[in-house]
Amino acid sequence: MSVRSIVRLGHPALRVPAQPVRLDRLSDVETQTLIDDMFETMLDSGGVGLAAPQLGIDLQLFVYAVIDPDHEDGIDDEDLELRALINPALEPVAGEVIYDWEGCLSIPDLRGLVPRHPAVRIHALDRHGKSLEYRAEDYEARIVQHEFDHLNGIVFLDRMRDLRSLAYSAEWEEFLTTDQDAAAQVG
């Protein structure tokens, strides 16, 4: 496995819809290595999600980590449940949108308040081509919506309804977060 470089805002891969992963290519070493490298790159950069377009790769594929939000202090790798979703589709579950802080590995050092659906139903394949269907809520739903947007050329700035909350992470920590342990979800 290896850590790959993450493209930043301005790279065209972040602004075009990605292509579906061909199912006859899913078991190829190249695709499986890509998935392993995406996990490694995400963990190395301190993110909780990473989409293939963030590596400049035009595929509908993202990885993310499910973290119990009650265990945000001193997370080690064993507390993370890592998931890879291939050709995902999302269906919002009815409910009022929730605003919370997000950041993006492709837009380093910025945080902003982003509205998201409180829960989504996910239809996707896992890395072995098995069908997945499940519901994600709260923290996990936010990560999944952020990463899914990357497969459609959308970044969190596009989702913000008021750019006045945009802040650099140091200033965000100093002035804007009310909870010492709060962490913005970065993906």
In the complex, the smallest distance separating the C-beta of residue 102 from Zn ion, rounded to whole angstroms, is: 8
Tell me the CA distances in angstroms from 23 to 59, 85, 110, one per residue in order.
12, 13, 36
Q: Which is nearer to Zn ion, 9 or 23 (CB)?
A: 9
DSSP code for 11: B
Alpha-carbon 5 to chain mean position: 16
User: Within 10 Å of residue 107's Cβ, how many Cβ atoms?
Assistant: 19
**How far apart are the C-alpha atoms of 10 and 149, rounded to whole Å?**
16
147 a catalytic residue: yes
In the complex, the smallest distance separating the C-beta of residue 29 from Zn ion, rounded to whole angstroms, is: 27
Q: Which is nearer to Zn ion, 104 or 151 (CB)?
A: 104
In the complex, the smallest distance separating the C-beta of residue 34 from Zn ion, rounded to whole angstroms, is: 17
Q: Enumerate binding residues for Zn ion (CB under 5 A).
A: 104, 187
Q: Which is nearer to Zn ion, 35 or 114 (CB)?
A: 114
Residue nearest to Zn ion (CB): 104
CB 87 within 8 A of CB 170: no
Q: Of the listed 102, 147, 173, 174, which one is catalytic? A: 147
> Looking at the annotation, which residues are catalytic?
147
